[in-house]
Amino acid sequence: MTDDMQALRALCLEAGAVLLGYFHGGVAVESKADDSPVTEADRRAEAIILAGLAKAFPGVPVVAEEEVSAGRLPETVGERFFLVDPLDGTREFISGRGDFTVNIALVEKGVPVMGAVYAPHRGSLYLGRLGEGAVEETVAADSGGAGEVVPLCVRAEPKVPPVAVASRSHRDAETDALLTAMGVSDTVSVGSSLKFCLVARGEADLYPRFGRTMEWDTAAGHGVLLAAGGSVCRLDGAPFLYGKRNQPHDSDFANPGFLAAGTADLVRAAAAKVGEASATG
């Protein structure tokens, strides 16, 4: 594993240990301006990641969820920057469910070229680098040693009909309509960015998302999926890119809807079905 991937791994484990401490010990919940929940666990984990990235990758801008919420953004983002969500799945975390993750991604020219997704409660760490592949490591947050590592690879031939990942918290009529159009009868549900990881593991074929997400929600999982051989596009089939808002002090990093799949053919087929529905709707 390269030094830069080792750095992301170490930061995920350190931040994950902090999250687990609050998860087992309880934490007060606050509401941000958009009514989304935030906790001290989010802030402490993010502080660890920001300090670690500044040391390991000096000069590379970082766009992090809680920093953006507080109105703090890099003066410029440019073509190479990090996206950080220290606690993706805050609602799962607060509710005592273990599907929360630490997300760190390095973006270059709009593409997540490195992704790290860590689910500390599960002890599952997903790492991917575009062109070099992806792995899953089973490792506890308080472990300094290496855990069992297995390579990740998407299912090269999707099941017929495909198996879809459907959001537990954000299922909507548009998603149901697409799954019906694709003939999907088998779905799996999981929280946070783990949805991308299920496709990267070859346990599912398709993950559609019509509702609102932010760039830091998706970039790390997207990066892992790309490294594992998968594909992601916008609902209209256009490339799904990051850094859409790269002007100083612009805090709108909202994503459009997207389709993630194990193969480019499946993602194109899903985009075609979305287009047909739009044309007849």
pLDDT of residue 31: 67
Residue range 220-244: average pLDDT? 96
* Statement: residue 250 has pLDDT above 60: no
Identify the CA nearest to 64 among candidates 256, 220, 193, 247: 220
Q: Would the annotation count 87 as a binding residue? A: yes
Statement to judge: residues 170 and 55 lie in one domain:
no
Tokens of 250: 């612009």
In DSSP notation, 233-277 reads EETTS-B--S-S--STT----B---EEEESSHHHHHHHHHHHHHH
Q: How confident is the model at residue 170 (pLDDT cuts 50, 70, 90)?
A: low
Per-residue pLDDT, 32: 67
* Structural domain includes residue 141: yes
Q: What order do you get walking across the sheet with 124-129 strand by strand?
A: 62-64, 80-88, 101-108, 111-119, 124-129, 133-138, 148-152
**What angle separates helix 173-181 from helix 264-280, to the nearest 10 degrees?**
110
Residues 114, 224, single domain; the answer is: no
Q: Which domain holds residue 84?
A: 3-152
Instruction: Report pLDDT for 142.
Output: 72
pTM: 0.93
Q: Tell me whether residue 158 is in a domain.
A: no
Q: Which of 99, 131, 152 is the last residue of a domain?
A: 152
The answer on 186 and 79 residing in a single domain is no
Q: Is 101 annotated as a binding residue?
A: no
Please check whether residues 147 and 174 belong to one and the same domain.
no
Does the pLDDT value for residue 134 go beyond 70?
yes
Which CATH number belongs to the domain containing residue 210 in this structure?
Answer: 3.40.190.80
Lowest mean pLDDT segment, chosen from 20-24, 118-122, 159-163, 261-265: 20-24
Same structural domain, 115 and 73: yes
Answer yes or no: do 126 and 188 share one domain. no
What is the per-residue pLDDT for 1? Answer: 80
Using the predicted structure, report yes or no on whether residue 168 has a pLDDT greater than 90: no
Determine if residue 90 is labeled as part of a ligand binding site: yes
Average pLDDT over residues 132-158: 90
The alpha carbon of 222 is separated from its chain's Cα centroid by a whole number of angstroms, namely 6
Q: What is the mean pLDDT of residues 94-113?
A: 94
146, 14: one domain: yes
Average pLDDT over residues 80-86: 97
Is 186 known to sit in a ligand binding site? no
pLDDT for position 90: 82
The annotation status of 65 as a binding-site residue, yes or no, is: yes
Question: Last residue of some domain: 128, 152, 176?
Answer: 152
